[in-house]
Amino acid sequence: MYILDNVTKFLAQDTNASYNSHGERYFADEKTYGEAVRKVKAETIDKNDLRNIAQAINLDEEGSQGRIQVQLLQVDEPARYVNFFCHFKVLFKFVQIGLSVLRVKALQKKVDKIVTDIKEIKDKIAEEEAVAEILGFHENIRKEGERIMGNEVAFLAAKQKALESRLQNLQARSIAEEFSR
Protein backbone atom coordinates (compact mmCIF):
# COMPACT_ATOMS: atom_id res chain seq x y z
CA MET A 1 0.00 0.00 0.00
CA TYR A 2 2.95 2.35 0.56
CA ILE A 3 3.51 2.74 -3.17
CA LEU A 4 -0.16 3.32 -4.05
CA ASP A 5 -0.70 5.66 -1.08
CA ASN A 6 2.25 7.83 -2.12
CA VAL A 7 1.35 7.80 -5.82
CA THR A 8 -2.13 8.94 -4.74
CA LYS A 9 -0.59 11.80 -2.73
CA PHE A 10 1.05 13.05 -5.91
CA LEU A 11 -2.03 12.54 -8.05
CA ALA A 12 -4.27 14.33 -5.53
CA GLN A 13 -1.58 16.94 -4.78
CA ASP A 14 -2.43 16.35 -1.12
CA THR A 15 -0.05 14.83 1.43
CA ASN A 16 -3.05 13.59 3.45
CA ALA A 17 -4.52 11.64 0.52
CA SER A 18 -4.30 7.86 0.46
CA TYR A 19 -5.23 5.08 -1.93
CA ASN A 20 -8.24 4.21 0.23
CA SER A 21 -9.58 7.77 0.36
CA HIS A 22 -8.79 8.96 -3.19
CA GLY A 23 -7.65 5.90 -5.14
CA GLU A 24 -10.76 5.08 -7.13
CA ARG A 25 -10.74 8.61 -8.59
CA TYR A 26 -7.28 8.07 -10.15
CA PHE A 27 -6.94 4.31 -10.61
CA ALA A 28 -10.32 3.64 -12.28
CA ASP A 29 -8.71 2.86 -15.64
CA GLU A 30 -5.48 3.45 -17.58
CA LYS A 31 -6.75 6.61 -19.29
CA THR A 32 -7.76 8.27 -16.02
CA TYR A 33 -4.50 7.22 -14.40
CA GLY A 34 -2.41 8.47 -17.36
CA GLU A 35 -4.19 11.85 -17.43
CA ALA A 36 -3.71 12.26 -13.69
CA VAL A 37 -0.01 11.34 -13.95
CA ARG A 38 0.55 13.98 -16.68
CA LYS A 39 -1.07 16.69 -14.50
CA VAL A 40 1.13 16.07 -11.45
CA LYS A 41 3.26 18.96 -10.20
CA ALA A 42 5.67 16.89 -8.11
CA GLU A 43 7.40 19.96 -6.67
CA THR A 44 4.24 20.92 -4.75
CA ILE A 45 4.84 18.06 -2.31
CA ASP A 46 6.85 19.11 0.74
CA LYS A 47 10.60 18.62 0.36
CA ASN A 48 10.83 16.53 3.54
CA ASP A 49 8.02 14.25 2.34
CA LEU A 50 9.83 13.85 -0.97
CA ARG A 51 13.05 12.93 0.84
CA ASN A 52 11.29 10.43 3.09
CA ILE A 53 9.67 8.72 0.11
CA ALA A 54 12.99 8.74 -1.76
CA GLN A 55 14.73 7.06 1.15
CA ALA A 56 12.05 4.37 1.32
CA ILE A 57 11.98 3.59 -2.40
CA ASN A 58 15.57 4.26 -3.44
CA LEU A 59 18.46 4.75 -1.00
CA ASP A 60 18.48 5.68 2.66
CA GLU A 61 20.95 8.02 4.40
CA GLU A 62 23.59 5.28 4.63
CA GLY A 63 23.33 4.51 0.92
CA SER A 64 21.50 1.22 1.50
CA GLN A 65 18.49 0.20 -0.53
CA GLY A 66 15.26 1.61 0.84
CA ARG A 67 12.84 -0.71 2.59
CA ILE A 68 10.25 -0.59 -0.22
CA GLN A 69 12.87 -1.24 -2.89
CA VAL A 70 14.15 -4.24 -0.90
CA GLN A 71 10.63 -5.71 -0.66
CA LEU A 72 9.94 -5.06 -4.33
CA LEU A 73 13.15 -6.67 -5.51
CA GLN A 74 12.96 -9.83 -3.38
CA VAL A 75 13.83 -12.63 -5.78
CA ASP A 76 12.08 -15.32 -3.79
CA GLU A 77 8.66 -13.78 -4.60
CA PRO A 78 8.95 -11.76 -7.85
CA ALA A 79 5.35 -12.32 -8.89
CA ARG A 80 4.06 -10.82 -5.64
CA TYR A 81 5.13 -7.27 -6.56
CA VAL A 82 5.21 -7.38 -10.36
CA ASN A 83 1.92 -5.46 -10.57
CA PHE A 84 3.30 -2.70 -8.35
CA PHE A 85 6.50 -2.21 -10.32
CA CYS A 86 5.03 0.30 -12.80
CA HIS A 87 3.58 2.28 -9.87
CA PHE A 88 6.94 2.06 -8.13
CA LYS A 89 8.62 3.55 -11.21
CA VAL A 90 5.99 6.30 -11.46
CA LEU A 91 6.48 7.13 -7.78
CA PHE A 92 10.26 7.05 -8.22
CA LYS A 93 9.99 9.53 -11.14
CA PHE A 94 7.60 11.79 -9.21
CA VAL A 95 10.09 12.00 -6.36
CA GLN A 96 12.99 12.48 -8.73
CA ILE A 97 11.18 15.27 -10.61
CA GLY A 98 9.94 16.91 -7.41
CA LEU A 99 13.38 17.00 -5.82
CA SER A 100 15.00 18.15 -9.08
CA VAL A 101 12.52 20.99 -9.56
CA LEU A 102 12.95 22.08 -5.93
CA ARG A 103 16.73 21.95 -6.36
CA VAL A 104 16.50 24.05 -9.53
CA LYS A 105 14.27 26.57 -7.73
CA ALA A 106 16.74 26.76 -4.83
CA LEU A 107 19.62 27.25 -7.24
CA GLN A 108 17.63 29.91 -9.12
CA LYS A 109 17.10 31.76 -5.84
CA LYS A 110 20.85 31.65 -5.25
CA VAL A 111 21.53 32.88 -8.78
CA ASP A 112 18.99 35.69 -8.33
CA LYS A 113 20.64 36.69 -5.04
CA ILE A 114 24.07 36.64 -6.68
CA VAL A 115 22.76 38.76 -9.56
CA THR A 116 21.30 41.21 -7.04
CA ASP A 117 24.57 41.25 -5.09
CA ILE A 118 26.53 41.87 -8.30
CA LYS A 119 24.20 44.75 -9.20
CA GLU A 120 24.63 46.25 -5.72
CA ILE A 121 28.41 45.90 -6.00
CA LYS A 122 28.39 47.51 -9.46
CA ASP A 123 26.29 50.38 -8.07
CA LYS A 124 28.76 50.83 -5.20
CA ILE A 125 31.66 50.78 -7.65
CA ALA A 126 29.91 53.43 -9.75
CA GLU A 127 29.40 55.56 -6.63
CA GLU A 128 33.04 55.17 -5.65
CA GLU A 129 34.16 56.03 -9.18
CA ALA A 130 31.96 59.15 -9.06
CA VAL A 131 33.53 60.15 -5.74
CA ALA A 132 36.99 59.48 -7.18
CA GLU A 133 36.10 61.58 -10.21
CA ILE A 134 34.90 64.40 -7.94
CA LEU A 135 38.08 64.14 -5.92
CA GLY A 136 40.08 64.13 -9.15
CA PHE A 137 38.19 67.25 -10.26
CA HIS A 138 39.00 68.83 -6.90
CA GLU A 139 42.66 68.00 -7.50
CA ASN A 140 42.44 69.58 -10.97
CA ILE A 141 40.91 72.71 -9.47
CA ARG A 142 43.67 72.87 -6.86
CA LYS A 143 46.34 72.53 -9.53
CA GLU A 144 44.62 75.15 -11.68
CA GLY A 145 44.46 77.42 -8.65
CA GLU A 146 48.16 76.92 -8.00
CA ARG A 147 48.94 77.61 -11.66
CA ILE A 148 46.82 80.76 -11.66
CA MET A 149 48.35 81.88 -8.40
CA GLY A 150 51.81 81.28 -9.79
CA ASN A 151 51.05 83.16 -13.01
CA GLU A 152 49.17 85.97 -11.25
CA VAL A 153 51.87 86.36 -8.62
CA ALA A 154 54.56 86.44 -11.29
CA PHE A 155 52.50 88.90 -13.37
CA LEU A 156 51.79 91.09 -10.35
CA ALA A 157 55.40 90.90 -9.18
CA ALA A 158 56.56 91.99 -12.64
CA LYS A 159 53.96 94.76 -12.69
CA GLN A 160 55.01 95.84 -9.18
CA LYS A 161 58.63 95.95 -10.29
CA ALA A 162 57.70 97.98 -13.36
CA LEU A 163 55.64 100.39 -11.23
CA GLU A 164 58.41 100.73 -8.66
CA SER A 165 60.85 101.44 -11.46
CA ARG A 166 58.52 104.01 -12.97
CA LEU A 167 57.91 105.51 -9.55
CA GLN A 168 61.64 105.82 -8.99
CA ASN A 169 61.99 107.44 -12.39
CA LEU A 170 59.16 109.86 -11.59
CA GLN A 171 60.60 110.62 -8.21
CA ALA A 172 64.06 111.15 -9.68
CA ARG A 173 62.57 113.45 -12.31
CA SER A 174 60.46 115.24 -9.78
CA ILE A 175 63.45 115.82 -7.56
CA ALA A 176 65.50 116.95 -10.51
CA GLU A 177 62.74 119.39 -11.55
CA GLU A 178 62.55 120.73 -8.02
CA PHE A 179 66.24 121.43 -8.02
CA SER A 180 66.12 122.99 -11.42
CA ARG A 181 63.61 125.64 -10.46
pLDDT, tens digit, 9 for 90 and up, residues 6-64: 888 888 888 888 888 888 888 888 898 888 889 988 888 888 888 888 878 876 666 67
**Assigned domain for 171 exists:** no
Beta-ladder partners of 59 = 65
Distance from chain centroid for Cα 179? 97
**Assigned domain for 99 exists:** yes
The torsion defined by the Cα of 17, 31, 50 and 80, in degrees rounded to 10, comes to: 90
CB 88 within 8 A of CB 70: no
**Assigned domain for 92 exists:** yes
**Assigned domain for 169 exists:** no
**Assigned domain for 159 exists:** no
Residue 37 lies in domain: 2-114
**Assigned domain for 175 exists:** no
**Assigned domain for 152 exists:** no
Over residues 96-100, the mean pLDDT reads: 89
What's the predicted TM-score (pTM) here?
A: 0.62
Q: Count the domains in the chain.
A: 1
